[in-house]
């Protein structure tokens, strides 16, 4: 034990004694416990220990404990604080933020919010009104902890930050209070944190196990990083699918904080990261934002240097993808930051060099950067407020360039069009809707089409969300090409493509001039279809939309007999494309015509699907209802492979898509139990992305699975799952992975010597060091466009152009005609990209390669998705194919039911 150091392993009685003996003053060069040097504390503010019974850093605080402490602080300081719930997690836990300001600020909180909202739209203000608001408004600082639930130390750092902002006397605290309004979100992911905390408490003994393989520090599947549906909430700021993030985005727009900090942990062997971030930057950052990031970084560095803490900046964590907690706020004119601390992943962890990282180390460092951030915002309050105003003014004035308008015609999947518009409204983007038909920039705009101008305060967000590309800096790209030529990994942190129109498969057309009757769209009055008319025969539901998918799922779940037409029909002069659903009275004899009409009407209302009554089954062109191409679609019972070796994101996101976007139940089954006879209860088994399924299943499991498919099961295998199904040892899918086209051939030379060569120049040397038989270079997450094969039910309802998010290097050869179908395949190289930078040789090799394949196996069916159609639950376009696979697949097997 070092001097007066806080010792987190001691029983609290001993600890109290030690703290009493030790002075609260610290050497300038080191802070050895969680606290700030040379300050005194107001005894009227309760300490963590007085409320929870342990000192900061001594225990990993649960969500309930954190909330209890914040309650105690707010009871002790009611005039300076406010504790507000902003969302509920899937498991029912409240998400809160704790506001701290001086009494004046807190007494006029509504005025402060209104002031920031007014500054956010500066075109409506005069210069003197802006000056007055800038003079009086506090700098609002948002400190958001623990978005990844197993990055644990940040929550306790948040509690210490709250305590110090209320209790500490001395610098820098004395000057912070009057300039700032600080919000502390103690845990952005309470479900994930509690998954970690419960696991840790279950495995903890009498003292910390510091080994990297200690049970308490190695979580079982799924780790606490993700929320209930296993989403990475720090990627959801763009698709906005999870309640935790939806609540945060809404709250952000109440306050428009000047800075939003997202506080994390990284590997135990690392040190500490704070901004400035690494390259590449999203091109819509402005210089003033980079300067502010630099100012925050310099101040945090000042404190870290003073305390002797190691750190790094400008590496690893970039600022390119706009859907992080540290990037999204930038597109509203604030700045966002990520802080990362080496994780103890428990109470203490041993680094490879023998050093011990403690939980208290993490709490202390995150606490110091939290205070350093508040101090920077306080000192620069006025200039940062003016930067915020200028960002929004310049966007509103269109100084970022780009098209003036983005047109979203109400065509194709109309439910996806509405969803895109509603999503943009949630992001704080102003949307208008047309009230008359019009034509602009060669596009027909039916009534109810949407218009999004880039000439608005969030105009740069409009551009990065709606444009296909957000280009990276040329010099950054050429450096990456140089690295790749040397066989080094490209320095990219996350996906490169995120264009919302590509994700949703919605047409968005840039246009500089449009003149049409219009109204403001607020996001809440999305039109629903007319209720269907009565019929004595049945109803048709055109396929290919999210809404029709919800209708099929709801109808199957309600026990209706639904048929699906695999061919085009023309009834009463209307053409119905492949995939149309048919609900016939004759197939549902337990209902009379009136009852069935009522049921179908209810399903139309809940799903938003267009449902058309028909009094004839005579098809003027194409198939009639009695055709073999009109197949019964019985309600499938769906199992989803769960637990190791599945990738938790893929398993969780897939479950979410079925359960929450299409309201269809799915039963997760641990991979080790797939060998059970219980498998026969299921019609569909989904293998999400995963590692070594062959090991996870074992030889018996693989045989059992193959036998189940052979007898009529439908196997839907995605990315890693497809790799397993297509492997030679398993042989469920007749395709093969490709090597890099034009790569160096394998040298079949055996033995210890090779023939002599003369390397005449540098180029020859570079050739000589290339690896043999290389795989294609990995894609970091790029949207690739596909084409459909028009002759398979698996692509029914899909218009050309639906995009998939492709990660990795799994290029497959197309299936031959005798092997099966390439239901969707990637576009020609010139049309391939739908968002994100593509290396040239990837662009060539991925063209015309399969994206979704199907092959019969015995009486069953194997469907392979090269890339997850459920990626982050954001690929609404690809979901239509996914629904075809899981909800229609069983209707297309030879299984006897």
Nearest residue (CB) to Zn ion, 343 versus 580:
343
Q: Rounded to the nearest 5°, which phi and psi values hold at 799? A: -85, 155
Smallest gap from residue 414 Cβ to Zn ion (A): 38
Smallest gap from residue 155 Cβ to Zn ion (A): 13
Lookup: tokens for 873: 């639950």
Distances (CA, A) of 657 to 497, 651, 713: 21, 10, 21
User: Which residues make Cβ contacts (< 8 Å) with residue 441, sequence separation at least 6?
Assistant: 407, 509, 510, 511, 512, 513, 514
Nearest residue (CB) to Zn ion, 341 versus 805:
341
Smallest gap from residue 645 Cβ to Zn ion (A): 23
Q: Alpha-carbon distance 19 to 50, whole Å?
A: 14
Smallest gap from residue 151 Cβ to Zn ion (A): 5
Q: Alpha-carbon distance 376 to 292, whole Å?
A: 9
Nearest residue (CB) to Zn ion, 10 versus 270:
270
Smallest gap from residue 338 Cβ to Zn ion (A): 8
Q: Alpha-carbon distance 821 to 856, whole Å?
A: 10
Q: Alpha-carbon distance 162 to 69, whole Å?
A: 10
User: Which residues make Cβ contacts (< 8 Å) with residue 610, sequence separation at least 6?
Assistant: 529, 541, 542, 545, 547, 548, 604
Kindly give the residue spans of alpha helices, DSSP state H, lying in 24-152. Answer: 48-52, 63-76, 103-107, 109-119, 127-136
Lookup: tokens for 8: 């987190």
Smallest gap from residue 94 Cβ to Zn ion (A): 22
Smallest gap from residue 226 Cβ to Zn ion (A): 11
Nearest residue to 652 (alpha-carbon basis) of 639, 644, 642, 661: 642
Lookup: tokens for 288: 């003033």
Nearest residue (CB) to Zn ion, 264 versus 597:
264
Nearest residue (CB) to Zn ion, 268 versus 563:
268
Nearest residue (CB) to Zn ion, 151 versus 375:
151
Q: Alpha-carbon distance 302 to 376, whole Å?
A: 11
Nearest residue (CB) to Zn ion, 148 versus 366:
148
Contact 183, 141 (CB under 8 A): yes
Smallest gap from residue 200 Cβ to Zn ion (A): 17
Nearest residue (CB) to Zn ion, 145 versus 724:
145
How far is C-alpha 882 from the geometric centre of its chain's CA atoms?
19
Nearest residue (CB) to Zn ion, 148 versus 414:
148
Contact 261, 300 (CB under 8 A): no
Nearest residue (CB) to Zn ion, 102 versus 270:
270
Kindly give the residue spans of alpha helices, DSSP state H, lying in 608-761. Answer: 648-656, 693-710, 720-726
Nearest residue (CB) to Zn ion, 87 versus 152:
152
Smallest gap from residue 237 Cβ to Zn ion (A): 14
Residue located via tokens 């495995």: 203
Q: What's the angle, vertex CA 627, arms to CA 626 and CA 632, rounded to 5?
A: 75
Smallest gap from residue 263 Cβ to Zn ion (A): 9
Distances (CA, A) of 885 to 384, 431, 795: 52, 35, 9
Smallest gap from residue 264 Cβ to Zn ion (A): 3
List for the chain the helix, strand, coil content (%; round to 5): 35, 20, 45
Nearest residue (CB) to Zn ion, 218 versus 809:
218
In this structure, how many other beta carbons lie within 10 angstroms of the beta carbon of residue 578?
Answer: 24
Smallest gap from residue 370 Cβ to Zn ion (A): 16
Q: Alpha-carbon distance 59 to 359, whole Å?
A: 8
Q: Which residue is nearest to Zn ion (CB)?
A: 264
Q: Alpha-carbon distance 892 to 881, whole Å?
A: 14
Nearest residue (CB) to Zn ion, 193 versus 432:
193
Q: What's the angle, vertex CA 77, arms to CA 74 and CA 79, rounded to 5?
A: 105
Contact 437, 446 (CB under 8 A): yes
Nearest residue to 305 (alpha-carbon basis) of 561, 102, 28: 28
Nearest residue (CB) to Zn ion, 278 versus 612:
278
Q: Alpha-carbon distance 785 to 326, whole Å?
A: 29
Distances (CA, A) of 213 to 109, 195, 349, 667: 49, 19, 10, 31
Nearest residue (CB) to Zn ion, 59 versus 153:
153
Nearest residue to 263 (alpha-carbon basis) of 161, 347, 139: 161
Nearest residue (CB) to Zn ion, 264 versus 365:
264
Nearest residue (CB) to Zn ion, 329 versus 579:
329
Lookup: tokens for 356: 């011990």
Nearest residue (CB) to Zn ion, 222 versus 833:
222
| Interface with Zn ion (CB under 5 A) | 148, 151, 264
Buried b (16+ CB within 10 A) or exposed e, 96-132: bbbbbbbeebbeeeeebbebbebbbbbeebeeeebee
Q: Alpha-carbon distance 478 to 468, whole Å?
A: 21
Smallest gap from residue 28 Cβ to Zn ion (A): 31
Nearest residue to 260 (alpha-carbon basis) of 193, 324, 342, 191: 324
């Amino acid at each position: 034990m070092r001097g007066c150091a806080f010792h987190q392993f001691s029983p609290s009685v001993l600890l109290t004694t030690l703290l009493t003996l030790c002075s609260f003053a610290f050497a300038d060069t080191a802070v050895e416990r969680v606290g700030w040097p040379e300050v005194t504390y107001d005894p009227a503010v309760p300490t963590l220990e007085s409320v929870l019974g342990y000192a900061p850093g001594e225990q990993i605080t649960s969500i309930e404990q954190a909330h209890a402490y914040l309650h105690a602080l707010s009871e002790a300081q009611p005039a300076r604080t406010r504790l507000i719930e902003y969302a509920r997690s899937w498991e029912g836990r409240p998400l809160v933020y704790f506001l701290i300001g001086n009494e004046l600020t807190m007494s006029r909180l509504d005025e402060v919010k209104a002031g920031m909202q007014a500054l956010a739209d500066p075109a409506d203000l005069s210069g003197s009104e802006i000056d007055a608001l800038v003079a009086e408004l506090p700098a609002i600082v948002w400190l958001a902890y623990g978005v990844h639930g197993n990055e644990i130390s940040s929550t306790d750092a948040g509690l210490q930050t709250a305590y110090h902002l209320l209790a500490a006397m001395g610098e820098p605290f004395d000057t912070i209070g009057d300039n700032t309004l600080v919000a502390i979100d103690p845990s952005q992911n309470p479900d994930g944190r509690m998954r970690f905390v419960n696991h840790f408490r279950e495995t903890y003994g009498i003292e910390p196990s510091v080994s990297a393989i200690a049970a308490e520090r190695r979580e079982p599947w799924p780790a606490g990083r993700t929320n209930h549906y296993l989403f990475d909430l720090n990627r959801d700021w763009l698709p906005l699918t999870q309640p935790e993030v939806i609540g945060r985005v809404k709250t952000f727009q109440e306050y428009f904080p000047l800075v939003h900090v997202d506080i994390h942990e990284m590997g135990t062997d690392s040190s500490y990261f704070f901004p400035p971030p690494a390259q590449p930057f999203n091109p819509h950052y402005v210089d003033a934002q980079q300067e502010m990031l630099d100012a925050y970084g310099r101040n945090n560095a000042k404190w870290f240097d003073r305390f002797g803490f190691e750190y790094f900046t400008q590496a690893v964590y970039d600022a390119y993808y706009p859907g992080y907690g540290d990037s999204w706020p930038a597109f509203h004119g604030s700045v966002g930051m990520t802080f990362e601390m080496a994780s103890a992943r428990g109470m203490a962890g041993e680094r490879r060099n023998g050093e011990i990282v403690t939980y208290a180390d993490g709490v202390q460092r995150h606490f110091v950067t939290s205070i350093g951030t508040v101090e920077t915002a306080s000192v620069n309050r006025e200039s940062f407020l003016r930067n915020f105003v200028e960002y929004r003014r310049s966007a509103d004035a269109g100084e970022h360039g780009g098209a003036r308008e983005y047109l979203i015609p109400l065509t194709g999947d109309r439910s996806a069009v509405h969803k895109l518009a509603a999503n943009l409204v949630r992001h704080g983007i102003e949307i208008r809707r047309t009230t008359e038909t019009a034509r602009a920039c060669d596009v027909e705009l039916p009534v109810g089409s949407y218009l999004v101008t880039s000439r608005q305060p969030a105009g740069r967000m409009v551009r990065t969300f709606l444009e296909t590309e957000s280009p990276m800096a040329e010099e950054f790209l050429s450096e990456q090409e140089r690295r790749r030529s040397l066989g080094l990994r490209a320095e990219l942190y996350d996906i490169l493509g995120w264009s919302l129109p590509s994700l949703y498969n919605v047409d968005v057309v840039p246009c500089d001039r449009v003149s049409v009757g219009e109204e403001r769209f607020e996001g809440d009055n999305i039109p629903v279809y007319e209720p269907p008319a009565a019929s004595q025969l049945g109803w048709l539901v055109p396929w290919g939309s999210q809404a029709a998918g919800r209708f099929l799922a709801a109808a199957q779940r309600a026990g209706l007999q639904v048929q699906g037409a695999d061919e085009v029909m023309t009834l009463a002069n209307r053409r119905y494309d492949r995939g149309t659903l048919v609900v016939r009275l004759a197939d549902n004899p337990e209902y009379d015509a009136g009852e069935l009409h009522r049921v179908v009407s209810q399903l139309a209302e809940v799903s938003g699907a267009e449902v058309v009554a028909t009094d004839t089954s005579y098809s003027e062109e194409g198939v009639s209802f009695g055709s073999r191409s009109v197949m019964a679609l019985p309600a499938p019972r769906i199992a989803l492979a769960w637990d190791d070796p599945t990738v938790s994101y893929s398993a969780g996101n897939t479950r979410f898509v079925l359960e929450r976007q299409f309201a269809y139940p799915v039963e997760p089954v641990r991979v080790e139990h797939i060998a059970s006879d219980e498998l026969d209860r299921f019609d569909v088994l989904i293998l999400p992305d995963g590692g070594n399924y062959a090991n996870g299943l074992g030889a018996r499991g693989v045989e059992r699975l193959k036998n189940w498919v052979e007898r009529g099961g439908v196997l839907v295998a995605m990315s890693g799952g497809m790799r397993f199904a297509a492997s030679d040892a398993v042989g469920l899918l007749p395709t093969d992975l490709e090597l890099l086209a034009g790569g160096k051939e394998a040298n079949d030379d055996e033995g210890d010597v090779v023939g002599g060569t003369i390397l005449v120049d540098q180029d020859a040397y570079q050739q000589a060091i290339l690896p043999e038989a290389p795989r294609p270079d990995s894609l970091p997450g790029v949207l690739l466009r596909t084409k459909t094969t028009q002759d398979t039910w698996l692509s029914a309802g899909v218009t050309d152009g639906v995009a998939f998010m492709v990660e990795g290097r799994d290029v497959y050869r197309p299936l031959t005609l005798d092997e099966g179908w390439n239901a969707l395949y990637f576009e020609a190289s010139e049309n391939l990209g739908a968002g994100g930078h593509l290396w040239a040789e990837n662009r060539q090799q991925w063209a015309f390669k399969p994206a979704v394949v199907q092959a019969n196996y015995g009486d069953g069916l194997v469907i392979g998705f090269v890339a997850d159609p459920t990626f982050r639950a954001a690929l609404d376009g690809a979901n239509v194919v996914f629904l075809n696979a899981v909800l229609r697949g069983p209707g297309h097997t030879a299984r006897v039911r």
